[in-house]
Amino acid sequence: MPPTVRDRVRAEVTAEITAVARRQLAEVGAAGLSLRAVAREVGMASSAVYRYFASRDELLTRLITDGYDALGAAAEAADDPGAAPRERWLGVCRAVRSWARAHPHEYALLYGSPVPGYAAPRDTVPAAARVGVVLGRILGDAARSGALPEAAGGDRDPELVSVETAAVLGGEHPAIDDAVRVRALLAWSSLYGTVSFELFGHLAGSVADTDRYFDIAMGELTDLLGL
């Protein structure tokens, strides 16, 4: 069935609403995002917006998934599969930071405090996982190319690292055990901790040259990973 004119118009209006909402998000933040204000700027009655989004939360959810997708796309675009594992990892980290600095309010929406009384629906999960998938693939490629030292091995513990996550983090390989996987999760958390601290101002009085600080910090983490 070809898309009717109605469908196309609906898609256009939906896109305009999300675009205006994203713009206002950058001005007033997630908590201050007002459906009425969005409607005003779009030029329609506030009630009409409810034809497109059942609630303010649903509009926010759309912004969240869009954000995860944009960040994931940036991470994927930054990964050059031909480069050395360490450079690939650092490149993705830099891409994440760049995207976060370019879209601070969207980043805060994704990785800041969860909006109270609002649980991200399941359909945000795949989009949210994209960065992790990229980093996991780099780790796996490094193992398969012999760039990682043999791991100690030891029993798998699904309580520590779930089977799904283990599969994402390079899969099964002699160079990857749960200790390596935990270090990868730690590096991932630390990446976001570092970016969040910079963006949210917790390093304000401590670090001036944030570019160099970030590079050194990420270098320490890749050392930790053995990359």
Partner DNA sequence: GTCGGTCAAGAGCAGCGCTCTCGTTTGCGT
Partner DNA sequence: ACGCAAACGAGAGCGCTGCTCTTGACCGAC
Long-range contacts, stretch 153-159, CB < 8 angstroms, 24+ apart: 153/177, 154/178, 154/179
Say how far apart CA 126 and CA 68 lie, in whole Å: 9
Neighbours of 84 (CB within 10 A): 13
Which listed residue (113, 146, 154, 155) binds its own copies by CB under 8 A? 113
Contact between 52 and its own copies per CB under 8 A: no
Span of 22-30, 71-79, 87-95, 141-149 interacting with its own copies by CB under 8 A: 22-30
44/171 with CB nearer its own copies: 171
Backbone φ and ψ for 116, nearest 5 degrees, come out as -65, 145
141-160 positions binding its own copies, by CB under 8 A: 157-160
Contacts of 39 (CB under 8 A, 6+ apart): 45, 46, 48, 49
Contact between 47 and its own copies per CB under 8 A: no
Least distance (Å) between residue 173 CB and its own copies: 18
The token duo for 2 is 């070809």
Binding partner at 16 among DNA, its own copies, none, C-beta below 5 to 8 Å by kind: none
Contacts of 111 (CB under 8 A, 6+ apart): 192, 195, 196
Binding partner at 13 among its own copies, DNA, none, C-beta below 5 to 8 Å by kind: DNA
Tokens 């930071």 belong to residue: 97
Residues in touch with its own copies (CB under 8 A): 27-32, 105, 108-109, 111-117, 120, 125, 128, 157-162, 164-165, 179, 182-183, 185-186, 189-194, 196-197, 200-203, 205-209, 212-213, 216-217, 220-221, 224
